A and B are shown apart, each in its own frame.
Chain A
Amino acid sequence: QLQLQESGPGLVKPSETLSLTCTVSGGPISTSSCYWGWIRQPPGKGLEWIGTVYYTGTTFYNPSLKSRVTISVDTSKNQFSLKLRSMTAVDTAVYYCVRHPYDTGGPFDYWGQGTLVTVSS
């Protein structure tokens, strides 16, 4: 059974960079059939796709966040990571890592449990 688990700090100071890692277990990240992505949900708001990476390193980003986001993959550790720079209070959210099929681009069929990231000094 495929499982995804987010890890990283729960508190980030304004202007700093958020770094989150998603560890994939139960299957290889270096599969040609899947993309790996990040989604977030600010408190009281809806879901927002942040970006997606393929095992080759090819990335796709939400245009609204593209200037601040880097998503990368480490196939040797079966992990992929999110970096979001210049964090502000509006970036406070639950961050989920997800899997979605390569052939269609979606939908998001496996989700991590989510990790709450708060931006505060």
Chain B
Amino acid sequence: EIVMTQSPATLSVSPGEGATLSCRASQSVSSNLAWYKHKPGQAPRLLIYGASTRATDIPARFSGSGSGTEFTLSISSLQSEDFAVYYCQHYSNWPLTFGGGTKVEIK
């Protein structure tokens, strides 16, 4: 099983600032990596797949990078709706696993 590790666990950011979230895989997942945003009371929403491709209707301020075992989600100029928990997930093989999440909170 591939273990996904996210850091930091919590990130305090002021509105308008940028944020960088990290995700590490215990073995290579190539580019089979997705990022999700999860707000309380809502279903998670797919942001990025293929490590760097934005999903439908996702704003350009979200960008993903990396391959192999190291990945980054960058959010430029955080808006109020961006404060949430973010998860990475690999789909390189079975079982599919998620990272533990990074909470982006208002500073």
Contact = CB atoms under 8 A, between A and B. Distances in A.
B95 A63 contact: yes
Contacts of A46: 87, 98-101
Nearest to A107: B34
Given A46-B87, A100-B91, A104-B32, A109 B98 contact: no
Interface residues of A, number: 21
Contacts of B92: 105
Q: Per DSSP, are chain B's interface residues mostly helix, strand or loop, or mixed?
A: loop
Given A109-B55, A111-B43, A104 B91 contact: yes
Contacts of B106: none
B43 A105 contact: no
Interface residues of B, number: 25
B43 A114 contact: yes
A19 B2 CA distance: 29
B68 interface: no
Interface string A60-90: 1111000000000000000000000000000
Interface of B: 1, 32, 34, 36, 38, 43-46, 49, 55, 87, 89-101
Question: 8 nearest interchain CB pairs?
Answer: A106-B91, A107-B34, A111-B43, A49-B96, A47-B98, A107-B49, A105-B91, A60-B94
Interface of A: 46-49, 52, 60-63, 96, 100, 104-109, 111-114
